[in-house]
């Protein structure tokens, strides 16, 4: 039978079906028919006919009606799961529901979920093409309204929606990203929030609404969503993060939802579609609101948050994402007299937020490590102002923070990304760091982490600032005080330095390069291609 149906031998199947009806064969065959039907053309109409016959047969045999209704429910479940491929799944779902009503049978609670799921799907081939019905298809734009009306009409069938039913409906409406559904989403949100129906408006539903309102710039609804989310988390989570770590996950989900929504905002959507709506934010106000949300979110959660490396890095990476979006948004206003004015204001707010984070880190005895500092440096890069790295460094007191991770602080001074600029000398000049600061950090690094990596980094730092005497003293300390064996990364900075100074001081350059050559031979360090190139270029062959 399956082969006959799948090969479109529908006439053969119909004869077999009619024979089953005439001989009153078992209703269990209907399940097999269902799997067969969904492979045929116009299967939705044939299915409704079969289910109607099934109801008739079930009602005729009252003694076995429970078993028959279970089979019917299973058949409907299979068909509803397949209905997303139909051009009009809403009409199909209505027909299924009406059959239950016609035979005065209560719709099973579990079947409601599949009815809602069937309605809350769009066929992949249905596109938003015009305001009219095309080729008999239901209009895409009106589907949100029809889905909501169907959802509400199910109450007449004894449907008592649970939170997961609303999640399904809200997910469908918000995922469509259709402005025509804004009134519907707002109506659902207000009804559930004003009734304090906390058990119906889940955290997931609130975040979906928030994302949708952000994309369409609905200021009042955004603020209400945030407020409701805070209330929901406070109500469902213990205040101790150690007893209930879900609070961290909730916080991160909120921040990520804001950031993802921000990246999807169409800068022209409010102006072109509804410029008269006073609730819609302007282009200039949107980033400001996002900044306020980040501040507000952090203030509401920080008393319950564990200051771990992961949580802080999530916050700092979020700032970088915001900055990326602000730069993109700002480029849209290049025709204005000074497109950077607003961006500068947002930069100051973000720097302020980063400083609050660092201050709170120190208060909570949290380690400021390489991950944290690297995230801060990325922020500085996004802002286009590497000097902020030094600003952050000066804002933190190494002596006051006993848990400070010195290699992390050192990242501020290393700034290897700056040396990759087209003109590193100019970049380094603009990043002048007092020698005493470099000495202080280097001494702490060498004492706390006396390994080869630490000494190599210190050597590179001093040589990048033309301080070869300091660099060689740390090489001496590494070998004699800590019994470390230098490697290629120890001598490469020396080779680069002596090659760089050749135009201004050829004599010192040649002597220094010869010294590098002798040291590498002494420690049996292999010569890589770059160092060999420098040596051959600067040292006469007679001296090698």
pLDDT digits (tens, 9 = 90+) for 7-25: 555 566 666 665 665 555 6
Q: Mention every residue, 6+ apart, whose C-beta is less than 8 A from residue 243.
A: none
- Give the mean pLDDT of 91-104: 92
The better pLDDT of the pair 298, 207 is held by 207
Answer yes or no: is pLDDT of 478 > 90. Answer: yes
Query: Is residue 223 within 8 Å of residue 209, measured between CB atoms?
Result: no
Mean pLDDT of the chain: 72
Q: Closest Cα partner for 292 from 256, 346, 361, 341? A: 346
Q: Which residue has the tokens 């001081």?
A: 505
pLDDT digits (tens, 9 = 90+) for 405-414: 555 555 555 5
The burial class, CB within 10 Å (0-12 / 13-18 / 19+), for 306 is middle
Q: How far apart are CA 285 and CA 192, in angstroms?
A: 28
Q: How far apart are CA 179 and CA 255, in angstroms?
A: 24
Task: Report which DSSP code applies to 528.
Answer: P
The better pLDDT of the pair 34, 73 is held by 73
Token code pair at residue 277: 């709506």
Token code pair at residue 353: 């937020």
pLDDT at position 482, please? 92
Q: Please, which pLDDT band fits residue 424 given cuts at 50, 70 and 90?
A: very low
Helical pair 468-480 and 435-448, crossing angle rounded to 10 deg? 10
Query: Is residue 387 within 8 Å of residue 430, measured between CB atoms?
Result: yes
The burial class, CB within 10 Å (0-12 / 13-18 / 19+), for 348 is exposed
pLDDT at position 58, please? 81
Token code pair at residue 152: 């509400």
Answer yes or no: is pLDDT of 285 > 70. Answer: no
The pTM is what?
0.59
Answer yes or no: is pLDDT of 128 > 50. Answer: no
- Give the mean pLDDT of 492-500: 90
Characterize 353-368 residue by residue with b for buried, 16 or more Cβ atoms within 10 angstroms of its Cβ, and e for exposed. Answer: bbeebbeebbeeebbb
- 3-class DSSP assignment, residue 160: coil
Answer yes or no: is pLDDT of 312 > 70. Answer: no
DSSP alpha helix (H) spans, 435-539 = 435-448, 452-464, 468-480, 488-500, 506-522, 529-538
Token code pair at residue 343: 């961006």
The better pLDDT of the pair 77, 352 is held by 77
Answer yes or no: is pLDDT of 185 > 90. Answer: yes
Q: Closest Cα partner for 233 from 319, 303, 157? A: 303
Q: Closest Cα partner for 354 from 329, 366, 372, 342? A: 372
């Amino acid at each position: 039978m399956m082969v006959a149906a799948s090969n479109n031998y529908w006439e053969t199947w119909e004869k077999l079906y009619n024979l089953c009806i005439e001989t009153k064969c078992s209703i269990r065959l209907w399940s097999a028919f269902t799997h067969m039907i969904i492979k045929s053309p116009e299967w939705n109409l044939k299915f409704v006919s079969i289910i109607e016959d099934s109801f008739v047969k079930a009602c005729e045999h009252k003694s076995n009606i429970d078993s028959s209704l279970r089979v019917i429910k299973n058949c409907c479940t299979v068909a509803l799961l397949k209905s997303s491929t139909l051009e009009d799944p809403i009409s199909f779902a209505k027909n299924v529901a009406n059959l239950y009503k016609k035979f005065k049978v209560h719709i099973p609670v579990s079947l409601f979920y599949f009815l809602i799921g069937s309605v809350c799907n769009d066929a992949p081939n249905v596109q938003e093409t015009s305001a009219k019905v095309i080729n008999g298809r239901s209009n895409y734009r009106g589907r949100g309204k029809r889905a909501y009306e169907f959802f509400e009409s199910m109450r007449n069938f004894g449907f008592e929606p649970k939170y997961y039913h609303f999640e399904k409906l809200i997910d469908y409406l918000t995922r469509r990203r259709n402005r025509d559904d804004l009134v519907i989403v707002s109506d659902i949100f207000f009804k559930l929030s004003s009734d304090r129906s906390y058990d119906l408006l889940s955290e997931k539903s609130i975040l979906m609404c928030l994302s949708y309102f952000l994309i369409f710039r609905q200021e009042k609804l955004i603020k209400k969503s945030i407020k409701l989310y805070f209330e929901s988390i406070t109500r469902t989570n213990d205040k101790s993060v150690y007893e209930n770590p879900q609070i961290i996950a909730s916080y991160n989900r909120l921040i990520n939802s804001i950031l993802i929504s921000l990246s999807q905002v169409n800068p022209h959507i409010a102006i072109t579609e509804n410029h008269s709506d006073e609730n819609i934010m302007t282009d200039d106000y949107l980033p400001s609101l996002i900044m306020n949300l980040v501040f507000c979110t952090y203030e509401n959660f920080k008393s319950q948050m564990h200051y771990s490396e992961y949580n802080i890095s999530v916050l700092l990476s979020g700032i970088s994402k915001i900055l990326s979006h602000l730069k993109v948004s700002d480029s849209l206003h290049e025709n204005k007299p000074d497109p950077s004015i607003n961006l500068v204001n947002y930069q100051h707010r973000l720097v302020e937020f980063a400083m609050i984070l660092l201050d709170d880190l120190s208060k909570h005895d949290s380690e400021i490590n390489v991950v944290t500092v690297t995230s801060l440096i990325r922020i500085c890069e996004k802002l286009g102002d590497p000097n902020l790295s030094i600003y952050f460094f000066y804002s933190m007191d190494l002596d006051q923070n006993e848990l400070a991770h010195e290699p992390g602080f050192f990242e501020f001074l290393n700034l290897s990304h700056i040396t990759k600029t087209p003109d590193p000398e100019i970049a380094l000049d603009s990043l002048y760091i007092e020698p005493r600061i470099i000495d202080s950090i280097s001494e702490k690094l060498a004492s706390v982490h006396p390994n080869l990596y630490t000494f190599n980094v210190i050597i590179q730092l001093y040589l990048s600032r033309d301080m070869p005497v300091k660099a060689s003293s740390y090489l001496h300390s590494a070998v004699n005080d800590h019994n470390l064996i230098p490697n290629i990364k120890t001598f490469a900075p020396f080779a680069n330095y002596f090659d760089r100074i050749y135009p201004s001081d050829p004599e010192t350059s040649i002597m220094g390069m010869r010294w590098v050559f002798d040291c590498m031979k002494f420690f049996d360090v292999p010569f890589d291609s770059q160092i060999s190139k420098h040596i051959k270029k600067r040292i006469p062959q007679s001296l090698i």
